Structure 1
Amino acid sequence: MSTARTEAHPLGEPGNLPVRSVLPATLLLLGLSVFTDANAKEPNRLVDYVRPFVGTQGEGNTYPGPSAPFGMIQLSPDTDNELWETASGYEYSDSTIMGFSLTHLSGTGIPDLGDFLFMPQIGNPKLVPGTKADPDSGYRSRYSHDEEEASAGYYKVKLQKSGVTVELTTGERAGMIRMTFLANAEASILTDLHHVLTGKKWKVIWSHVRVEDNSTVTGFHLVNGWAKERSLYFAARYSRPFDKAEIISDGQPVIYNTYRFRSDKEASGANLQFLAKYTISRPESVIVKVAVSAVSAENALKNLDAEIPGLNFEELRDKTRTKSERELSRIEIEGSQEEKETFYTSLYHAFLAPNLYQDITGEYRGLDQNTRRAEGFTNYTVFSLWDTYRATHPLFALIQAQRDADMINSMLAHYDQSVEHMLPIWSLQGNETWCMIGYHAVPVIVDAYLKGVKGFDPARAYEAVKTTAMNPNYDNVATYAKLGWVPFEKENESVSKTLEYAYDDFCIAQMAKALGKKEDANYFAKRAGNYKNVFDPSVGLMRGKDSQGEWHSPFNPHFYDEKMGVNDFTEGTSWQYSWYVPHDVPGLIALMNGKKQFARKLDALFTFREADQSKGVSDIQGRIGEYWHGNEPSHHVIYLYSYVGQPWKAAERLHEVVKSQYGNKPNSLSGNDDCGQMSAWYLFTCMGFYPVCPGSDYYVIGAPQIRKATMHLSNGKTFAMNANNLSDKYIYLQSVALNGKKIDNPFLPYSAVSAGGTLSFEMGPQPSKWGTNPQIPK
Structure 2
Amino acid sequence: MPPILHSVDPFIGTAATDLPPARGLAATWWWPKPQVGNTHPGATSPLGMVSACAYSGAYPTGYGRYTKNTEGVPEEMFDRLQASGFTHFQQSGTGAIRKYYNYVRVTPMVQPLDALGESWPLGEEVAQAGYYAATLDTGVRCELTVGAKVAVHRYTFPEHNNARVVVDLSCGGLGIELGRTVPVRAQVESMGHGRAQGTVVMEGVPLSVYVEVDSPGWRQMLWYDRRLIDGGTRLDFDSIRHTTLRPFGMLFMGPTEPGQAVEVRLGFSLRGCDQARQNLERECGSGRPAFDAVRARTRVRWGEHLDRVEVEGGTPARRTVLATALYHSLVKPCFGDDESPFWPTPGPFAFDVCTMWDIYKTQLPLLAAIVPDRAEDLLESLIRVCEEEGNFPIGYRMARGADRFFRQASALVHTALADAHALGRAGLDWNWALVHMVGDLRRMYGEDFFENGVVHPITHTLDLAYAHHCTAQVARALNDRSLADDLEERGHQWRNAFDPDTGLLRDSEFYEGGKWNYSFRLLHDMAARIALAGGDKAFVDKLDQFFGFGAAPVRQPGRRPQPAEMMAGYALNRFEGLNNEPDMEAPWAYHYAGRPDRTAQIVQAALTWQFGTGPGGLPGNDDSGGLSSWYVWASLGLFPIAGQNLFLINAPAFSRAVLRAGGNEFVIETSGHRETPIGVEGLDHDPPPQYVQEASLNGEPLHATHLSADTVHRGGLLHLRLGPEPSAWGRGIRPPSLSDPGTSSEVAR
| TM-score normalised per structure 2 | 0.84
Match in the other structure for 2:542: 601
Instruction: Please say if residues 149 and 268 of structure 2, whose CA atoms lie closer than 8 Å, have aligned partners that are also in contact.
Output: yes
Gap runs ≥5 in structure 2: 17-35, 67-75, 677-687, 742-749
Residues 665/774 of structure 1: CA separation in 2 closer, same or farther (3 Å cut): farther
Question: How do 1:33-432 residues align onto structure 2 when only pairs under 5 Å count?
Answer: 45-58=3-16, 59-81=36-58, 83=59, 86-87=60-61, 89-91=63-65, 94-109=80-95, 110=97, 111-129=99-117, 138=118, 140-144=119-123, 147-160=124-137, 162-198=138-174, 199-201=176-178, 202-206=180-184, 207-224=186-203, 229-241=204-216, 243-254=218-229, 263=232, 265-268=234-237, 270-271=245-246, 272-311=248-287, 312-335=290-313, 336-358=315-337, 362-366=338-342, 370=343, 372-374=344-346, 377-383=347-353, 384-418=355-389, 421-431=390-400, 432=402
- CA drift of 1:242 comes to 6.2
Which amino acid letter does the alignment assign opposite residue 630 of structure 1? N
Shift in Å at residue 181 of structure 1?
A: 0.3
What per-residue deviation string (whole Å, max 9, x for no partner) do you get for residues 320-363 of structure 1? 111111111112111232232222211111111221223xxx34
Whether 2:427 is the aligned partner of 1:455: answer yes
- Per-residue CA deviation, residues 553-575 of structure 1 (Å, 9 max, x unaligned), is xxxxxxxxxxxxxxx11111111
Letter paired with 2:143: E
Partners of 1:662 and 1:583 lie apart in 2 by: 30
Aligned to 2:478: 515
Distance 1:237 1:661 in 2: 45
Counterpart CA distance in 2 for 1:278 and 1:422 is: 52
Greater shift after overlay, 579-588 or 404-413? 579-588
Partner Cα separation in structure 2 for residue 754 and residue 245 of structure 1: 54
Matches within 5 A, 1:5-24: none
With structure 1 as the length reference, what TM-score do the two structures score? 0.81
Which of 500, 505, 517 lines up with 1:537 in the alignment? 500
How far apart are 1:88 and its partner, in Å? Answer: 5.3
**What does residue 467 of structure 2 align with?**
504
Task: Give the match for residue 260 of structure 1.
Answer: none
Q: Aligned AA for 2:479?
A: G
**Counterpart secondary structure, 1:710:** strand
Residue 458 of structure 2 aligns to a residue in which SS? Answer: helix
How far off its partner does 1:611 sit? Answer: 8.6
Structure 1 CA distance, aligned partners of 2:12 and 2:467?
Answer: 33
Alignment of 1:643-722 (within 5 A): 643-692=592-641, 694-714=642-662, 716-722=663-669
Is residue 396–residue 404 contact of structure 1 (8 Å, CA) maintained in 2? yes
Give, in whole Å, the separation in 2 of the partners of 1:461 and 1:267: 42
One-letter amino acid of the structure 1 residue matched with residue 255 of structure 2? T
Decide whether the 8 Å contact of 1:55 with 1:666 is kept in 2: yes
CA distance in 1, matches of 2:113, 2:236: 19
Equivalent position of 2:26 in the other structure: none
For 2:86 and 2:422, the matched residues in 1 are separated by 43
**Alignment-derived partner of residue 33 in structure 2:** none
CA distance in 1, matches of 2:491, 2:589: 19
Q: CA deviation at 1:617?
A: 9.5
Q: Which deviations, in whole Å up to 9, do the C-alpha atoms of 1:288-338 show, x marking residues without a partner? A: 001211111221111111110234211111111111111111121112322
By relative contact order (CA 8 Å, sep 6+), the higher-ranking structure is 2
Q: Which amino acid is the alignment partner of residue 157 of structure 1?
A: A
Q: Residues of 1 paired with 2:726 and 2:412: CA distance?
A: 37
Query: Following the alignment from structure 1 to structure 2, what is the Cα–Cα distance between the partners of residues 61 and 237?
Result: 32
Q: Which residue of 2 aligns with 1:738?
A: 697
What's the counterpart of residue 70 of structure 2?
none
String of CA shifts for 1:434-486, please: whole Å, max 9, x gaps.
22321211111111111122311111111111111123xx2x31111111111
**Deviations for 1:142-193, whole angstroms, at most 9, x for unmatched residues?**
023xx11100111110111x10000011111112100000113421112222
Tell me the SS of whatever aligns to 2:254.
strand
Matched, 1:433 2:398: no
Whether the 8 Å contact between 2:522 and 2:589 is mirrored in structure 1 is no
Counterpart Cα distance in 2 of 1:151 and 1:91: 21
Q: What is the rounded CA distance, in whole Å, between the counterparts of 2:473 and 2:65 in structure 1?
A: 43
Q: Which amino acid aligns with 1:422?
A: N
CA shift for structure 1 position 91: 4.7
- The 1:624–1:216 alpha-carbon spacing in structure 2 relative to 1, beyond 3 Å, is farther
In structure 1, distance between residues paired with 2:625 and 2:233: 44
Q: Partner residue of 1:561?
A: none
Partner Cα separation in structure 2 for residue 242 and residue 203 of structure 1: 35
Q: Give 1:586's match in structure 2, choosing from 527, 537, 556.
A: 527
Residue 522 of structure 2 contacts residue 586 of structure 2 at CA under 8 Å; is this kept in 1? no
Q: Does 1:762 align with 2:738?
A: no
1:629 matched residue in structure 2? 578
- Change over 3 Å in CA distance of 1:69–1:611 after alignment to 2: closer
- How far did residue 69 of structure 1 move? 0.8
C-alpha separation in 2, matches of 1:752 and 1:528: 26
Alpha-carbon contact 1:215-1:242 (below 8 Å) kept? no
**d(CA) in 2 for partners of 1:738, 1:617:** 47
1:519 Cα deviation after fit: 1.7
Identify if the C-alpha distance between structure 1 residues 601 and 88 changes in structure 2 by more than 3 Å, giving closer, same or farther.
Answer: farther
Q: CA deviation at 1:127?
A: 4.7
Distance 1:569 1:99 in 2: 40
Give SS of 1:203's match: coil
Cα 1:302–1:127 shift into 2, 3 Å: farther
Deviation of 1:530 (Å): 2.0
* AA aligned opposite 1:517: D
Is contact 2:465–2:491 with CA below 8 Å preserved after alignment?
Answer: yes
Distance 2:698 2:442 in 1: 44
Residue 230 of structure 1 aligns to which amino acid in structure 2? V
Say if 1:193 and 1:273, in contact at 8 Å, map to a contact too. Answer: yes
Count of aligned pairs between the two proteins: 665
- Residue pair 2:83, 2:122 contacting (<8 A) in 1 also: yes
Percentage of pairs with the same residue: 26
Counterpart of 1:758 in structure 2: which amino acid?
L
Shift of 1:264: 5.2
> 1: distance between equivalents of 2:374 and 2:556?
44
Whether the aligned pair in 2 keeps the contact of 1:99 and 1:117 (CA below 8 Å) is yes
CA 1:740 to 1:768, structure 2 compared with 1: closer, same or farther past 3 Å?
same
Q: Partners of 2:666 and 2:426 in 1: how far apart?
A: 20
Measured in 2, the distance between the counterparts of 1:617 and 1:403 equals 41
Q: 1:128 deviation in Å?
A: 4.6
Q: Is the 8 A contact 1:291 1:300 kept in 2?
A: yes
Amino acid in structure 1 at the alignment position of 2:541: R
> CA 1:575/1:293 → structure 2, altered by over 3 Å: closer, same or farther?
same
Q: Aligned AA for 2:455?
A: V
Deviation at 1:67, TM superposition (A): 1.4
